[in-house]
Amino acid sequence: MAAGPPSLREAHAQIESSSFPVTQILETARVAATGGFSPALVTNDAGSFFSNPALLTEKMHGMFSVTYLNHVAGLNSGTVAYAFQVDSLSTAGIGVRYLSFGSIDRSDQDGRRSGTFNASDLDLSISGSRLTSSGLRYGANVHFLLSSLDGESASALSFDGGLLYEVDDRGLAIGLTIHHAGFVMSSIGSKNARLPVDLRIGVSKKLTHTPLLLTLSMYRINKLGEAPKELSNLARLMYHVILGGEFQFSRNFQLRLGYNFRRHDELGLKSRLDFAGVSTGFGLQISRIGIDYAFSSWSSLGGLHRFTVRTSL
């Protein structure tokens, strides 16, 4: 599916103009609340392997995570993930992401309506990571992608690779990933489908003597020239930068904030102060149950509410 139905393109700016838009869905509420696409946000959430397969660690053994997003324009999406330890140095994960466009009006070239049809995307994934003797962790994901549109379908096989290096005594983590390198097996209609290859780098740092964790991520580094030409050089660079923060008041409670300049520029109204691109949320730990919530502002279109529930099975 090229970019989703034309009537939904403006409302669904989170999904870039490429095939298999499910690949652009943010996998957990914590990731969304801190701005999104963070390959260095260390966590115990099994769904984090979608951000960076090297984030899988032995601490995630038996962790199960479910995320749900009720999107604008009747769209729905979600993620289910489970992680488990293979041996003393290796961790694996399995997961599913889905995106449903709901019921869409069918019309002919003259605009006459003739019923409805459905469109959806599915991502079936397996993941694995391994820790080296030097402390560097590396991992890989394999995704089977399937798009369906009114009885037709497209499929692809894609791969992610990731690295993560942590300096525990400094609260520092550095991550590098490449996402969705692979090949398309079938397309819908006459237009060839393409995979949204994305090179990302991220850094997270826990500030000394404070409860604040800061994150900085760059995404779509392989497409640095895609920002609008009228923007300044700094703004064109910021099109690929996401800033985030998390106040870790305790193991049981965190507050989060993020900012995505690209989202602000795409959705914000220039005539007034606009919070498009700003995200916020919180995390709670209640006994063995973790609950995360994220709100992402989409300006006059409203906002996105995302929930994650995680536990150890």
In a domain, 59, yes or no: yes
Q: What percent of the chain has pLDDT over 90?
A: 65
Q: Residue 175 falls within a domain, yes or no?
A: yes
Classify residue 304: in a domain, yes or no.
yes
Alpha-carbon gap, residue 136 to 139, rounded angstroms: 10
User: Within 13 Å and on the Cβ side, how many CA atoms surround 274?
Assistant: 20
Q: Is residue 12 part of a domain?
A: yes
Residue 1 lies in a domain: no
Mean of per-residue pLDDT scores for the chain? 88
Q: Are 19 and 158 in contact (CB under 8 A)?
A: no
SS3 66: strand
8 A C-beta contact, residue 220 and residue 23: no
111 inside domain = no
Grouping H, G, I as helix, E, B as strand and the rest as coil, residue 251 is coil
Could you list the beta-strand ranges (E) of 111-270: 113-131, 136-149, 152-167, 172-186, 198-206, 212-218, 241-250, 253-260
Mean pLDDT along residues 7-36? 72
- Position 271 scores a pLDDT of 60
Smallest Cα–Cα separation from 93: which of 161, 32, 140?
A: 140
Question: In whole angstroms, how far apart are CA 9 and each of 75, 100, 196, 266?
Answer: 12, 14, 16, 12
Strand partners, 205: 172, 214
Domain that holds residue 48: 6-106+118-312
Residue 130 lies in a domain: yes
Given pLDDT bands bounded at 50, 70 and 90, which one contains residue 131? very high
Tell me the per-residue pLDDT of 110-125, one tens digit each, with 9 for 90 and over: 666 766 667 889 999 9
Residue keyed to tokens 């030409």? 229
CATH number at residue 145: 2.40.160.40
Give the model confidence (pLDDT) of 137-190 as tens digits. Answer: 999 999 999 998 877 889 999 999 999 999 988 899 999 999 999 999 998 876
CA distance 221 to 173: 19
Does residue 113 sit within a domain?
no
Which carries the bigger pLDDT value, residue 153 or residue 206? 206
- Out of 59-73, 77-91, 93-107, 159-173, pick the least confident: 93-107
List 139's β-bridge partners, or say none. Answer: 129, 162
pLDDT at 73: 65
When divided into structural domains, the chain yields a total of 1
Which amino acid is it at 183?
Answer: F
Q: What predicted TM-score, i.e. pTM, was given to this entire model?
A: 0.87
Question: In whole angstroms, what is the distance from residue 52 CA to residue 139 CA?
Answer: 8
Is a pLDDT exceeding 80 seen at residue 109?
no
When pLDDT is averaged across residues 274-283 and rounded to a whole number, the result is: 91
Which is nearest to 45 in space by CA: 211, 220, 254, 221?
Answer: 254
* pLDDT classification of 16: cutoffs 50, 70, 90: very low
Whole-Å CA distances, 81 to 43, 48, 50, 195: 14, 9, 9, 22
Per-residue pLDDT band at 246 (split at 50, 70, 90): very high
